[in-house]
Amino acid sequence: MATSEGGSRPGHRSAAMAALFLALFSAWLLLAFALTRPAQALIKPAPIDESLIWPLSGTTIPDATMSSPFGPRWQASQHRYDYHAGIDIAAPLDTPIHAIAGGTVFKAGWLSDDAGLGVVLRHPDLGFYSAYLHLNSTPVTVSQVITQGQVIGYVGNSGTTNFYHVHTEIRLTATDYPTSTRNVMGYLPRPDTTTPTIQIASLQSDPIYSPTVSLVITVPRNELDLNRLRVTLQDRATAAVIDDQFVDFNLRVNTGSDALDQDGIRLIPGHFNTSTVEYVITGTFYALSALDSFTLTAQAIDLAGHAGRVSATAADTTPPGRVTSLRARRLSPSSIILSWVAPGDSGPVGRAMVYGVRYAHVPINSDTWYDATILSDPPEPITAGLVQQWLVALPVADPVYFALRATDDEGNVSPVSNSAHALWAISLPVAFKAY
Ligand SMILES: [Zn+2]
């Protein structure tokens, strides 16, 4: 999946260009789609370009001393969380930095107090820019033509940083920073064999409130390409998808202090440095749709499309509430109208699945329920709290009592309702009401 499209083979340059244009154009379309329809959009992972090289090794062998991944991170030097627009690779002072691809120098010099001394290369053939920040010095100047592998700078500690490293970045455009940055790991050559590990750390569910799930995702340090966390909620009884939420690291950027807590998803990346074996991140989804009984599937998806999956179910063990409002009124010598306030699926919430209604010559309670006679074809339950009515033919001669129970979609059965004695619906004269 990672290399299924966009690979530029020598001798097929125009075809490769066309493919690249198509890929970029469709990526733009998908991006626009993602911004308007976040719940359903899917961003195809960027193809890994086998023709690129790593900035420090100058080869296709990945630089091993990565100190910060792309995306959500704990920024140790600032003691805060942020979205990292590139990858940091630690190296000794003045280690040469190689152009990952040929191009021209777009910027060279002091870029900002954060970026420090940096170089930005323009790669028109590839459709992106590469940036190298926090340099100690650079031998290149703006507009200079650069060949792949050429030394364009030396590792330093300039700008907002407190250790020697090169911050390497891919930008799709020159100006839309940081929204145009993309995970470098989707471009530089690397092995991609593992699937992110995902576990459910906690799952809180309540029949009334929305569930909250915390996920712990782990990827090894040589595959720092975690791209997406996704949670899908399905109705356990019908399998219908009720909610589908995700966060796409390639599309998230810093928006201030809430950068890692947006749209009902909170991310807490673990600390990471050159000696960390794994990148660990906790993702908490806390604005999922309320559902009393569900199957939750969580996925951690990397840039190659490898998806770690875990699922859990929450069963509904709360029965519908007991009906205490059942009334039976005689409309005529042969018909009765039953009315009651509909119970919910779980307690007073939602909608029950089916009613059981019975009648008997004596009041009905839980002890006598099974002695009473079933009244067939009761109406379907309506939403909790609404009054529903059922017109029935008088099943037996007076006296007659009615009672009902409600069952939810998980088979939980409510207690037997109050027992309603059929009374004439017409108002009696005041004198008769006195006693
Ligand atoms: Zn950085």
- CA distances 365 to 246, 360, 373, 388, 419, Å, are 49, 11, 13, 21, 7
- CA distances 131 to 86, 118, 168, Å, are 9, 7, 6
In one letter, which amino acid is 97?
A: I
Q: Structural domain of residue 108, as residue ranges? A: 46-186
**207 and 310 share a domain?**
yes
213 C-alpha to ligand 1 centroid (Å):
30
63 C-alpha to ligand 1 centroid (Å):
15
68 C-alpha to ligand 1 centroid (Å):
7
| Domain membership flag for residue 431 | no
**361 and 291 share a domain?**
no
28 C-alpha to ligand 1 centroid (Å):
25
| Domain membership flag for residue 429 | no
84 C-alpha to ligand 1 centroid (Å):
6
Where residue 2 falls (left for φ over 0; alpha for ψ -120 to 50; beta otherwise) is alpha
Structure confidence at residue 398 (pLDDT):
76
Q: What is the C-alpha to C-alpha distance for residues 118 and 106, in angstroms, rounded to an integer?
A: 11
Structure confidence at residue 50 (pLDDT):
61
| Domain membership flag for residue 34 | yes
Structure confidence at residue 48 (pLDDT):
54
Q: What is the C-alpha to C-alpha distance for residues 187 and 60, in angstroms, rounded to an integer?
A: 11
301 C-alpha to ligand 1 centroid (Å):
23
C-alpha closest to that of 39 among 232, 181, 284, 245: 245
Structure confidence at residue 169 (pLDDT):
95
272 C-alpha to ligand 1 centroid (Å):
12
378 C-alpha to ligand 1 centroid (Å):
66
44 C-alpha to ligand 1 centroid (Å):
24
93 C-alpha to ligand 1 centroid (Å):
16
160 C-alpha to ligand 1 centroid (Å):
9
pLDDT > 90: what percent of the chain? 60
Structure confidence at residue 46 (pLDDT):
46
**98 and 139 share a domain?**
yes
64 C-alpha to ligand 1 centroid (Å):
15
H/E element, 415 = none
Q: Where does a domain end: 186, 209, 243?
A: 186
Where residue 239 falls (left for φ over 0; alpha for ψ -120 to 50; beta otherwise) is left
**1 and 81 share a domain?**
no
75 C-alpha to ligand 1 centroid (Å):
9
258 C-alpha to ligand 1 centroid (Å):
19
| Domain membership flag for residue 71 | yes
User: Can you give the pLDDT of all 435 residues of the chain as single tens digits?
Assistant: 333 333 333 334 444 444 444 444 333 333 333 333 333 333 334 445 568 999 999 999 999 899 999 999 888 777 888 889 999 999 999 999 999 999 999 999 999 999 999 999 999 999 999 999 999 999 999 999 999 999 999 999 999 888 999 999 999 998 777 778 899 999 999 888 889 999 999 998 876 678 999 999 999 988 889 999 999 999 988 899 999 999 998 877 655 555 788 889 999 999 998 999 999 999 999 999 988 789 999 999 999 899 999 999 988 888 999 999 999 998 888 889 999 999 988 877 789 999 999 999 999 999 999 999 999 999 999 999 999 999 998 877 778 999 999 999 888 999 999 999 987 645 444 444 444
**132 and 213 share a domain?**
no
Burial of residue 280 (CB within 10 Å: 0-12, 13-18, 19+) is middle
CATH number assigned to the domain comprising residue 334: 2.60.40.10
Alpha helices in 267-375, H assignment, sequence order: none
Q: What is the C-alpha to C-alpha distance for residues 226 and 33, in angstroms, rounded to an integer?
A: 21
DSSP annotation of 24 reads H
**50 and 152 share a domain?**
yes
**146 and 202 share a domain?**
no
| Domain membership flag for residue 435 | no
332 C-alpha to ligand 1 centroid (Å):
82
433 C-alpha to ligand 1 centroid (Å):
84
**80 and 181 share a domain?**
yes
Q: Residues with Cβ within 5 Å of ion ligand 1?
A: 88, 167
CATH number assigned to the domain comprising residue 300: 2.60.40.1930
298 C-alpha to ligand 1 centroid (Å):
29
87 C-alpha to ligand 1 centroid (Å):
6
Structural domains of the chain, count:
4
306 C-alpha to ligand 1 centroid (Å):
25
**65 and 133 share a domain?**
yes
**282 and 410 share a domain?**
no
85 C-alpha to ligand 1 centroid (Å):
7
| Domain membership flag for residue 432 | no
291 C-alpha to ligand 1 centroid (Å):
41
167 C-alpha to ligand 1 centroid (Å):
4
CB within 8 A of 206, min separation 6: which ones? none
In one letter, which amino acid is 359?
A: Y
**50 and 178 share a domain?**
yes
| Domain membership flag for residue 320 | no
Q: Where does a domain end: 186, 214, 236?
A: 186
**57 and 181 share a domain?**
yes
In one letter, which amino acid is 390?
A: W
Structure confidence at residue 16 (pLDDT):
46
Q: What is the C-alpha to C-alpha distance for residues 177 and 161, in angstroms, rounded to an integer?
A: 19
CATH number assigned to the domain comprising residue 114: 2.70.70.10
Q: What is the C-alpha to C-alpha distance for residues 417 and 435, in angstroms, rounded to an integer?
A: 27
Q: What is the C-alpha to C-alpha distance for residues 235 and 226, in angstroms, rounded to an integer?
A: 28
- CA distances 364 to 134, 334, 344, 370, Å, are 81, 21, 22, 9
Over its C-alpha atoms, the chain yields an Rg (Å, rounded) of 33
pTM for this structure?
0.71
| Domain membership flag for residue 321 | no
- CA distances 228 to 71, 159, 242, 302, Å, are 10, 30, 20, 7
